[in-house]
Amino acid sequence: MADKLVVCTGYSVVDVVVDAGRPQAARAGGTAANVASNLRWLGTSRVALAARVGSDPAGRLIRSQLHADGVSVQFIHLDPQVQTPVLIQVVTGAPAEPRYLFTCPICRRSSASFRPITPEHAHAVTTPTPSMFFFDRASVAALEIARQVREAGGIVMFEPNTIGREQLTSRAVQLASIVKVSSGRGERLRALLDFGPKGQVQIRSDGGRGLSWRRFGQRWRHETALPSRAVDTSGAGDWLTSGLLHGLTVDHLESDAEVRDALARGQALAAVSCEFVGAKGLTNAPRSKVHRRLSGFGLTLGSDRSAHVAEAKHSADDLACRVCLAPQEIKADTAHLAAIGT
């Protein structure tokens, strides 16, 4: 699988960081887009994002930035009938959980809902069939891709954020080689791990308390979190997932030692990512600093790692809100914007 194709689909948004009342960087974000971009940064050679976003400034930003990151964008559909979700992260200056806004403080527009890819999308994605598939939202199209990847002998990872449509989510768990849930997401999600197929790798992440993992039906094993000078935990879970998947093969998945090594790689990346602001802060930090911190955990990035990901400063089209990029002309309520950073 040296030249494997990894396809990611699920929650894809624009992340806007607001610091001291001012919009700073805007990045393609959301779990699926973050994992795709992270994998390219780590050196996975062929990664694609399948997404259905709006034909609007935010949707165009997602496509252009993922392309710049080296991710294939051939499966990103800009749908004129869809509004792209935008998530606003407020920097509080305290080493705590990130604070998010789902309503723009300027134009007062609520963030759009996630829209899954279509069955037609799934057909395009599976021609040919990917070697690895990651998804975090269960949909009819995502399940079809998962089914085909598993039947072809590939790896499928499912990381549900919500229970969603329970029948689809339960089916996704049965199709997955790996399932990861956050302990903070509620009992209904954790209960999904009671019904996995034989041999499935199951992971319960618990932030700064580490993680537990097992093969379905076996005992749980705890892995302590690595030390971090945390300033921002946003995106740490996505780095854990990315580190796990990077370089993983079907043969590795059969070995408990290999799975534990892959999880350790993910935990190291997650710990270091918390030392930078924003879900993509690690990719824009000085390389020497990142290498030094990772080497302290015994992790060395290969020479095939993709180019440094350039984070764009926040900008908007002339007829777009200057914070959430909604396609309309808005007069900024600057006093309210300044207040949210306090």
pLDDT digits (tens, 9 = 90+) for 1-52: 447 899 999 999 998 888 766 777 788 999 999 999 999 999 999 999 999 9
Once rounded to an integer, what is the mean pLDDT over residues 63-78? 96
pLDDT tops 70 at residue 288: yes
Name the band, by pLDDT with cuts 50, 70 and 90, for residue 302. low
Percent of the chain topping pLDDT 90:
58
Q: How far apart are CA 282 and CA 294, in angstroms?
A: 11
Contact between residue 202 and residue 215 where contact means Cβ atoms under 8 Å apart: yes
Name the CA radius of gyration of the chain, rounded: 19
Kindly report which listed range (99-103, 128-132, 139-143, 203-207) carries the lowest average pLDDT score: 99-103
pLDDT confidence bin for 138, thresholds 50/70/90: very high
pLDDT digits (tens, 9 = 90+) for 197-225: 999 999 999 988 999 999 999 999 999 99
**Segment (H or E) for 334:** helix 334-339
Report the alpha-carbon distance of residue 250 to residue 7 in Å, rounded: 16
Average pLDDT of the chain is 86
Three-state DSSP class for residue 16: strand
